[in-house]
Chains A and B, each alone.
Chain A
Amino acid sequence: MAYFDAASTEPLHPQAREALIAALDAGWADPARLYGPARRAKMLLEQARAEIAEVLGCRSDELSFTASGTQAVHLGVLGALRGRRRAGSRLVVSAVEHSSVLHAGQVHEAGGGSVETVGVGRTGVVDLEAFGAAVRAEGTALACLQSANHEVGTAQPVAEAAELCAAAGVPLLVDAAQTAGRAPVPPGWSLLAASAHKWGGPAGVGVLAVRKGTRWRSPLPEDERERRRVPGFENVPAIVAAAAALRAVAAEAEREGARLAALVDRVRAEVPRLVPDVEVIGEPVARVPHIVTFSCLYVEGEALLTELDRAGFSVSSGSSCTASTLRPSHVLEAMGVLTHGNVRVSLPRGTSEADVDRFLSVLPDAVRRIREEAGVKL
């Protein structure tokens, strides 16, 4: 079995597992109380916060824990829009943001606000000129740009976008879910969201950082947890495990990233050589090290996923037949690339060269069989 779906979730890091088990015993009490076990839970929570803040490049008191990366994005987007009401009600997003950003935008629109979507080029890079024009427009309250795309791995020019936003006096929310722990967060953000299970921590922990001086008002009912930013009792053991994982992956990120990037380069080069009629998708150079996406002409995505699963490979797809909505991925649509027969390979930490070789040996036959069964004679 080879698990190639790290962009959905990275397997739990061994150090996170160890920290989780220890913290289940040491960090179960309510960190808001004043007795011994509570103080210990509070200490563990604040230590984890300081460690994560250091890796992400922010202050501890700017960082809040949420129930997920999705919740971090929802709170970040809606809270910043609320805090900036007087500045206006325009939200600017790229067309390839994670669905959590787009769904928060829909709530904003339903409440009378407007959303301007900035297009991307064929490789998925946001059109910076259009992005700049959009943030400069009167009444822009917030702009959102991901650090890298979750489906095609394309890195976005966040630092440049942040400069455009700063010049216009508009806060920028960066969704760093695909890069946190793998690469330094680009400078210039006002709000930052990420998710622990994408860096090898447990599920159920998201992070939202709001820079000092950024206006933000909770869109949810008031609660005293997390400096009034996130309602609900913190999952201290999972947060402690998330910090342990982040520390561990950040320490080895450069070496492991280079190794995975070489494997991804191999997939990018070999797939079009081994399989006829394939389009490799996404930015070839400015991208994250672990994600590669391609689409096979005349192949149904679901059939290909099933074939690969049978051969022992867990991969994901942006094709419509694999989505509950039966619509193709909005990312692939926005890029104007082939949406059917789509496969996303995303390599977790420690992926072996042998597994990648085996994938490359299995794929051509899988594609050929599906094309034959569909009666494709091309």
Chain B
Amino acid sequence: MTPRQTSAEDVGQAPALTIDALGKKCPIPIIMLAERINHVPLNGIVSVLADDPAAFTDIPAWCRLKSHHHVASYELPQGGWAIHVRRNY
């Protein structure tokens, strides 16, 4: 899968925090992300590991609603995605 909504300067930036939401159904991965995004510094990257298909759509949608930045979603070898989000404020 090609990453969606990529911007060159963010892709490849190492995540400052990884949230393991594998096996968790939406909205739980989103709740975990919302609670912890402020644990990374401004412009830091949070990587959410999730395998609920809803998370693949909902995390980018959450970013849009909350004015954070969805960097890219990378497929994981074991299934699911690492969904990278940049803290904007």
Instruction: State the A residues within 8 Å of B (CB).
Output: 277, 279, 297-300, 319-321, 327-328, 332-333, 336-341, 374-378
Whether B54 and A279, one on each chain, are in contact in the complex, defined by CB atoms closer than 8 angstroms, is: no
B10, CB-defined interface residue at 8 Å: no
Determine how close the nearest CB of chain B comes to the CB of A42; give it in whole angstroms.
Answer: 50
Whether B54 and A340, one on each chain, are in contact in the complex, defined by CB atoms closer than 8 angstroms, is: yes
Instruction: State the B residues within 8 Å of A (CB).
Output: 25-28, 30-31, 34-35, 52-54, 57-58, 60-62, 65
**A320 touches which of B25, B31, B35, B60 (Cβ 8 Å):** B25
- Chain B contact residues, majority secondary structure: helix
What are 7 A-B pairs with beta-carbon distances under 8 A?
A300-B27, A333-B57, A336-B61, A338-B65, A339-B26, A339-B58, A375-B31
Whether B27 and A320, one on each chain, are in contact in the complex, defined by CB atoms closer than 8 angstroms, is: no
Given contacts A333-B57, A377-B35, contact A340 B30 (CB under 8 A): yes
Residue of B nearest to A277 (CB): B65
Given contacts A297-B27, A319-B54, A320-B52, contact A338 B61 (CB under 8 A): yes
**B30 touches which of A279, A298, A319, A328 (Cβ 8 Å):** A298
* Bound: A328/B30 CA distance, A: 15
* Bound: A376/B36 CA distance, A: 12
Whether B27 and A332, one on each chain, are in contact in the complex, defined by CB atoms closer than 8 angstroms, is: no
* Bound: A374/B27 CA distance, A: 10
Whether B34 and A378, one on each chain, are in contact in the complex, defined by CB atoms closer than 8 angstroms, is: yes
* Bound: A341/B54 CA distance, A: 11
* Bound: A230/B52 CA distance, A: 41
Whether B34 and A338, one on each chain, are in contact in the complex, defined by CB atoms closer than 8 angstroms, is: no
